[in-house]
Structure 1
Amino acid sequence: MATRPDHHESAREGALVHSASESHSAAETTEREFPLSLHQRRMWYLCTAYEGTASPIVYLANRFTGPLDVVAMGLAVDAVVARHGALRTRFTVTPDGPRQLVAAPAGLPTEFVDVSADDAPLTRANELVAELTGALLDLAGGGPLVRSRLIRIGADDHVWCFAVHHILADGASAAIADGEVAEFYRAAVTGTAPRLPAAPMGYGEFALWQAGGGGGATDDDLRYWRKQLGGVLPLELPTDTPRPAVKSTRTDQVDRPLDLELTTELERFARAERSTLFMVLVTAFAVVIGARSGQDDFCIGAPVAGRTLIEVEESVGLFNNTLALRVDLSGEPSFRVLLGRLRATIIDALGRQNVPFGQIVTELGLPHDPSRTQVFQTICSLHTESGPGTDMHGLRVEPFGVGKPQTIHDLVLDAWRGPTGLAASLRYDTGLFAPATMEALIREYESTLRAALAEPDRRLTR
């Protein structure tokens, strides 16, 4: 049965909504129209130019063990949505292109589904979460782009899923929403005021600021990217099946833990080379990709938070950017030499990360190729966002496993640093690669890391 709990405690609801929106201007009593940010324009292009079976979705999936107050949970979600305009946004297409429309704060229904009487409630809960995280959403169709679902598995056992289209939020946004839902929940349960600062800059205001030239790329920035990426060829990895004419988002993944001893040694090596753990990880990925492709010149994408403006540090929205790192494997360098090359490339790129990748693509004048993404076809990312660790007023909070995130790139290497070492995961396009090929690739990646520690000055051969 799917319902929305009756928010009968009107005084408590009113206090929370007032607290969430008290710093908003009177203009937010009506729907407001804004341009798309430069980041959103790129996401709009990716979502409309490539066919797929699922949309890029940012989500929270948490399991709560303990006596959850269902009404308070719904009120907490309402309050966070009232606090962030990005979570109340829809899109419309005009003769001048897409525009975003931010609705006035009005709450977001949290769908309540009780599966406690099912024969396999956990299986059913997984299906209900995967339904949200794997949905194909129509950006211009007027349907919901933000959904909240609370699933009862048992009397004191619930799963909450909060799913947002990526054009409205990024990974840092999910962490922000997670913490604020917990604080609004605590406030609702205890009858006290939430301990949160005034609402940050809204994403619509950020897009308007950006459209007016705020934070824009300088001529020097654009010259750098044109020179840095000019003439780069697409990566041609051997595939197990012919590349289709139109890229899909069919995805699977292989996982490989990297033990604490190896991780600690990698971090020690990075420090000795005046580098970071990410620089070492992406260098090893470049070695594997170069060996497999036979190319000595290609690009790897590297996501960055993109929150270079202090006013948006706590805002929900799409701020993250992707840096195109050009790999130079010419001359059969050693791992140490290649690390030095990529270190310099990364530092230069970070100094120009204010230029959205979509703007760089426009500057390069690249033709649209529906069979592959532009500039880079692989991504390497080291994740630093923490998992559930917020105080839900006495509830035990654990991540609830769901399906694999979709990607439009050929390969995405993710790594998470945890107390037991690194957890590496390789997402791949199942329309191009077989599972056995990817299992071999991620094993080769670990072997490359170990070889780099053992013989960092050995020349790389392909």
Structure 2
Amino acid sequence: MDNDQKIGNPDDARQKRELLKRLLLEENQRKQAKTAADSRTGLRFRERSGKQKFLPLSFGQEALWFIDRANPGKAGYNSLLALELKGELDRAALYKAFALLQQRHEVLRTCFVETDAAVAGNSEALLASEDNAQVRAVVREQQELPIIELDFSQSGDAYNQLETALQREADTPFDLSQAPLYRVSLIKLSDADHRLILTVHHIISDGWSTGVLYAELCAAYRAFAAGERVALPPVLQYIDYAIAQREFLTREVLEKQLDYWRQHLADASQLALPRDRGYSAGTDYVGISKGRVIPGDLSKAIRALSRQQGTTVFVTVLAAFNLLMHRYSGQADIVIGTPLMVRSTPELEKVIGLLINMVVLRTQVQPDISFESFLKSNRKTMLDAHDNGDLPFDYLVRELQPHRETNINPYFQVVFAQDMVASPVLHRQQKDEKFSIQMQAGGIASQSKATRFDIEAYLRDWGDDLSIEFIFNKQLFDESTVDRMLDSFIRLLASAAAAPERPISELSMLGSEERHLLLEEWTRT
């Protein structure tokens, strides 16, 4: 044995010391980065007592629970995801995949009970910060999979039956006191063609969560079908977020952000769009979906303008939407809502749950300024909303007490949002030579959807093309009205992208049909 073998090679020892030093440095940098992120978000995730049975809801969940209790038997907060399954389906692998996801994410086994019932059945103390809550979350240890199978393959009317099944799913409400708050329909159209319909209540999910579910379902199914181990990283539980949110949002934090919203919303008035019919006591959640694909050249122009102005595609299209609302309403003070994603730390990226907060966007329209200037104004409004977006919308309403009317939401009846499910990554087909899974483009086939507002506008970014969808209350608007509004929106976008330096009053949104209708109206008057 030589000397190097006896005492160890000095070069090897030196390399090991350098490696250890580098690893310690990297670990320290990661800790510093995490500490910095925690200081910005204020969220602290801690170990949870395994004995605690009744747990707090997030502020968003609590708001939806109160809405459900005030309007029982409604399906306005159902969300549907449709998957096309082509090829030889391994049912056992599919069931195992759902069983794994249900066990992996506690929120898929969670229901909600009123406090009196919770306290009566539990001798343990509840969280001190939650003593005033009226509802608690309960996580079921074991939960039967909510999967039903339907076979339309022998019917000569399979696709119409599929449409009926989709609509039935959309219209069937959940009982929030009974877990799980999701259900799955596996529909056979032929031996090699199935549809998987996942219906989830918004109280346990959001658009981003749908993408997480889709990605993990695909990964688990592939592994089980191949007889391999499912490799998914550990995940934070949604209830840990709810606890951290409750602890972070102290009265001091809430009041600081409330001061901004109190000034921002002073003397704000509801957007009053011209409607085909007015509100009535029976106005419900029933909506109709209409959409347009934004032409490829225009999509590219919107992206180019966004880059030039140092903003996002979302803000650019939002600015055009606010201008559309100005043109239709005649108001210069435009107030709409948008859901703000609150996944502020890396730990929250793979969490399934309700991680959005509705915020109010208030924009002043000055007709003589350029679209470029208007875009900068919208960008600032959006950044300010992000900076003050921790304040729960329900808390804001309770504290500011805006004027409210029956069947009308506080502050806004129009929403503009980006559909986080519409992602090129999520819509990439998962396939091999025998089987493929793909998210059905545009969501479900049905054009009838629930809506809690007059109009919900959704921007979808498919990687190359953009598209826009309006979900509107059919008791208030005719389809022809919304068709014209969508066409006007596309023309307004094209006009703004072509000449952003022009005053916004000069941007055109009228087509020949609208001009003809206006001329007729002017002639009659």
Shared topology, TM-score over 0.5?
yes
Partner of 1:163: 199
CA deviation digits over 1:318-374, x for unaligned, max 9?
001222111111464332222121111111111222222222222322354322111
User: Structure 2: how far apart are the matches of 1:180 and 1:27?
Assistant: 27
- Secondary structure at the aligned position of 2:258 is classed as helix
Partner of 1:267: 303
Q: Is 1:202 matched with 2:237?
A: yes
Aligned residue identity for 1:389 = R
Partner of 1:250: 286
Q: Is 1:364 matched with 2:363?
A: no
User: Structure 2: how far apart are the matches of 1:424 and 1:242?
Assistant: 25
CA deviation digits over 1:86-120, x for unaligned, max 9?
11111112355222211114441421222211222
User: Structure 1: how far apart are the matches of 2:370 and 2:171?
Assistant: 42
Aligned-pair CA distance for 1:395: 1.7
- Secondary structure at the aligned position of 1:402 is classed as coil
Q: Structure 1 133/165 Cα, relative in aligned 2: closer, same or farther at 3 Å?
A: same
CA deviation digits over 1:189-212, x for unaligned, max 9?
2222111112x2212222222223
**Which of 56, 60, 63 is the matching residue for 2:77?**
56
- Secondary structure at the aligned position of 2:184 is classed as strand
Aligned residue identity for 1:213 = F
Q: Can you give the 5+ residue segments of structure 1 that lack an aligned partner in the other structure?
A: 1-24
Asked if the contact 1:221–1:355 (Cα under 8 Å) also holds between the matched residues in 2, the reply is: yes
Q: Structure 1 50/434 Cα, relative in aligned 2: closer, same or farther at 3 Å?
A: farther
User: Structure 2: how far apart are the matches of 1:430 and 1:454?
Assistant: 34
Superposition pairs of residues 137-176 of structure 1, within 5 angstroms? 137-140=174-177, 142=178, 144-176=180-212
User: Structure 2: how far apart are the matches of 1:50 and 1:334?
Assistant: 45
User: Structure 2: how far apart are the matches of 1:235 and 1:197?
Assistant: 45
Partner of 1:319: 355
RMSD of equivalent CA atoms: 2.5
User: Structure 1: how far apart are the matches of 2:175 and 2:320?
Assistant: 38
Asked if the contact 1:247–1:372 (Cα under 8 Å) also holds between the matched residues in 2, the reply is: no
**Identity over aligned pairs, percent:** 26
Q: Flag the structure with larger Rg.
A: 2
Partner of 1:101: 138
Q: How many residues align?
A: 435
Which has a greater percent of helix? 2
Aligned residue identity for 2:175 = D
Q: Can you give the 5+ residue segments of structure 2 that lack an aligned partner in the other structure?
A: 1-46, 117-132, 507-525
Structure with the bigger RCO (C-alpha within 8 Å, sep 6+) is 1
User: Structure 1: how far apart are the matches of 2:146 and 2:275?
Assistant: 45
User: Structure 1: how far apart are the matches of 2:405 and 2:100?
Assistant: 43
**Which of 229, 232, 246 is the matching residue for 1:193?**
229
Partner of 2:86: 65
Per the normalisation by structure 2, the TM-score is 0.77
Q: Structure 1 287/357 Cα, relative in aligned 2: closer, same or farther at 3 Å?
A: same
**Which of 80, 102, 111 is the matching residue for 1:90?**
111
Q: Structure 1 67/31 Cα, relative in aligned 2: closer, same or farther at 3 Å?
A: farther
Moved more, 389-398 or 31-40: 389-398
Asked if the contact 1:258–1:424 (Cα under 8 Å) also holds between the matched residues in 2, the reply is: yes
User: Structure 2: how far apart are the matches of 1:246 and 1:330?
Assistant: 37
Partner of 2:482: 438
Aligned-pair CA distance for 1:215: 8.4
Per the normalisation by structure 1, the TM-score is 0.87
